[in-house]
Amino acid sequence: MYSIGEFSQITGLSIKTLRFYHERGLLAPTCVDDQTGYRYYDAAKIDRARVIAELRKLEFSLDDIAAIVRDHDDESDIVEYLRRHSREIAVRVQAQKQILSVLQTIIRHQEEIRHIMQTSHFEVTEKSLPAVLLACRRMRGKYSDCGPAFGQLCRKVGWHMVGKPMMLLYDSEYKEDDADFAVCAPVRKAIRAADIEMIELPTARALTLLHQGPYAELGRSYAVLLAEFQRLGVTPALPSREVYHKGPGMIFRGNPQRYLTEIQMAIGEAEAKP
Amino acid sequence: MYSIGEFSQITGLSIKTLRFYHERGLLAPTCVDDQTGYRYYDAAKIDRARVIAELRKLEFSLDDIAAIVRDHDDESDIVEYLRRHSREIAVRVQAQKQILSVLQTIIRHQEEIRHIMQTSHFEVTEKSLPAVLLACRRMRGKYSDCGPAFGQLCRKVGWHMVGKPMMLLYDSEYKEDDADFAVCAPVRKAIRAADIEMIELPTARALTLLHQGPYAELGRSYAVLLAEFQRLGVTPALPSREVYHKGPGMIFRGNPQRYLTEIQMAIGEAEAKP
DNA sequence: TTGCTCCTCACGTCACGTGAGGTGGC
DNA sequence: TTGCTCCTCACGTCACGTGAGGTGGC
């Protein structure tokens, strides 16, 4: 016969745990001294303790374990328990992985933003835009109405999204109320969904400018960019693009002063030089 | 101003949850009627509620969330939180996957046993043994001492194991005390570890017999098998093998009456026929 | 006396959900 | 009066761990 301390050493279960299992009726001591209340376990209890510990390692609940050890003593009898438990854990793992993927996406996104902040000089830059496949929803109205559309788009596109959200602007001048634009998400392959059209933009030379601050102040950056077009004697080609490197995040709405938007205007035909 | 019920509708947080967040100081109502105790929330609280809900979806603890929303309002500021949380979840996922793999192994094992029980006739059968690579520990002593050796072997071999545990028996007659044998685990590739040697068994024709019952009764099945060798006028070649299809399980010790052991004795040179 | 082992009992964990019992205004 | 919304307070969840305060035998 072993005292609770000895039995704890043998089984690797803590004294507190053994007392708890006794209280729960899962693993009763062989006898209890009615003077002192001391619990005593005999060798036959060791295997039961081992079985319980093994099932706990597999994260079965104490209720399940109680049911299992009450009715069964062979693994072939508990395959259904194992299967059900397995399914439950698989569901949990899937949910956790989903969370992990969201966390990783946010972290990666922030790293990209940090990299942009470190390397950009916030000046007009000429560069090549790569070809890109976009899932788009074309809209008419105010630019500021794009919020919900972006939400729906992201939900439909899901994990097919492979870059920052963008907007295509089809008006040649600024329009407050009846603008013609499309909210877009770059995707790796075509997606079929209601209200979504696929647009394939070819590579293009473009003048770009990184705008830091609220969307309401984009106009200033557009002016700078257009001035540069004029200076170079070239014209912008529609649609122009806005790439939202940093805007309202997945968690915080964030500080608009820290929003980062890249305006990209493709270079159209050169004007005849005088 | 919204009542708690309206605010609950808007935010998707239950009334109970809103009261709890109030109590925890995480999301206080804008004002509380001191006559009725009614809580009222204004529109400005909606975004805070949304942030808290988003962070809860990512399974941050309320303590973490309290710290996050107290000090930050931009995702770039909480990358370290995200990273740490990500690591914690990754650890949990790994542990859960480990459990899943154990569960799957047990389930698969039981299915194999069921299949064997359904298809076997428990008669001597001649068949080809496939070539197999074994991680072995050679021993001398009693067969019944193999238990701990199997435990150690399994731990060293881990997930490289690709079949049932086996024993190789090198004695030509039954020995009680000073038997020469090796406990083995089939593996997919060679393993280097102390006390482990690799043995590559070639394919062989063999007579086999499936033995159901405790190991102590294996002798009877050996007798049946050897009688068949004699009847056919062939001799067995060493080492003979025992494959433990069902023995003490990972959870239960199980009922020895239901143990399943396959005895395999390779067919050696044919004796000259008279 | 000190140190050790054992005991019981109460409370904490985590983020709420359940339910009892009650109120105030339509 | 009934039904609705809101309130507080107590308790449950899950598998223990922590700690207080005490006992009995060496």
In the prediction, which pLDDT does B268 show?
Answer: 85
Mean pLDDT of chain B: 94
Query: Side by side, which strands form the sheet with B39-41?
Result: B2-3, B39-41, B31-32
With CB atoms and an 8 Å threshold, state whether B74 touches A100: no
CA of A38 to C1' of C7 (A): 7
Does the structure show a pLDDT above 90 at A234? Answer: yes
In the prediction, which pLDDT does A175 show?
Answer: 84
In the prediction, which pLDDT does B271 show?
Answer: 53
pTM above 0.85, yes or no: yes
CA distance B209 to B120: 10
Give the residue on A whose Cα is nearest the Cα of B69: A252
Does the structure show a pLDDT above 60 at A172? Answer: yes
CA distance A91 to B100: 11
Q: Does B178 touch chain A (CB under 8 A)?
A: no
Give the residue on A whose Cα is nearest the Cα of B52: A251
Q: Which of B56, B65, B118, B251 to mutate to test the interface with A (most CBs of A within 10 A)?
A: B251
Does the structure show a pLDDT above 70 at A274? Answer: no
CA distance B19 to chain A (A): 22
Token pair 């916030």 in the structure block, residue = A122
CA distance B136 to B156: 11
With CB atoms and an 8 Å threshold, state whether A58 touches B103: yes
Task: Average the pLDDT over A23-52 and give the result.
Answer: 95
Q: Give long-range contacts, CB 8 A cutoff, 24+ apart: B20-28.
A: B21/B52, B21/B62, B24/B62, B24/B66, B25/B66, B26/B52, B26/B62, B26/B65, B26/B66, B26/B69, B27/B52
Those residues of chain B that have pLDDT short of 50 are: none
pLDDT tier at A271, thresholds 50, 70, 90: low
CA distance B19 to B39: 9
CA of A49 to C1' of C24 (A): 58
Short-list B69, B41, B42, CA closest to B56: B69
B58, B83, B251 ranked by CB distance to A99: nearest: B58
In the prediction, which pLDDT does A24 show?
Answer: 94
Chain C positions with an atom below 7 A of a protein C-beta are 5-8, 14-18, 24
H or E segment and range at residue A156: helix A146-157
CA dihedral A56, A62, A68, A69 (to 10 degrees): 80
Chain A residues with CB under 8 Å of B100 CB are 86, 89-90, 93
Give the residue on A whose Cα is nearest the Cα of B48: A252
In the prediction, which pLDDT does B84 show?
Answer: 97
Residue nearest to nucleotide D25 (CA to C1'): A36
In the prediction, which pLDDT does A173 show?
Answer: 83
Chain B residues with CB under 8 Å of A113 CB are 76
In the prediction, which pLDDT does B158 show?
Answer: 83
pLDDT tier at A269, thresholds 50, 70, 90: low
Q: Does A91 touch chain B (CB under 8 A)?
A: no
Structure tokens belonging to residue A136: 């788009």
Give pLDDT tens digits for A131-158: 999 999 999 999 988 989 998 998 898 8
Q: Which of B58, B61, B76, B260 to mutate to test the interface with A (most CBs of A within 10 A)?
A: B76
Does the structure show a pLDDT above 70 at A190? Answer: yes
Chain B residues with CB under 8 Å of A118 CB are none
In the prediction, which pLDDT does A89 show?
Answer: 97
CA distance A230 to chain B (A): 37
Give pLDDT tens digits for B203-220: 999 999 999 999 999 999
**Among residues of chain B, what percentage have pLDDT more than 90?**
88
CA distance B149 to chain A (A): 19
Does the structure show a pLDDT above 70 at A272? Answer: no
Does the structure show a pLDDT above 70 at A224? Answer: yes
CA dihedral A236, A241, A244, A247 (to 10 degrees): 80
In the prediction, which pLDDT does A164 show?
Answer: 94
Task: Average the pLDDT over A217-243 and give the result.
Answer: 95
H or E segment and range at residue A109: helix A79-119
Return the closest nucleotide (C1') to the Cα of B65: C15
With CB atoms and an 8 Å threshold, state whether B99 touches A89: yes
Mean pLDDT of chain A: 94
CA dihedral B60, B61, B62, B65 (to 10 degrees): -40
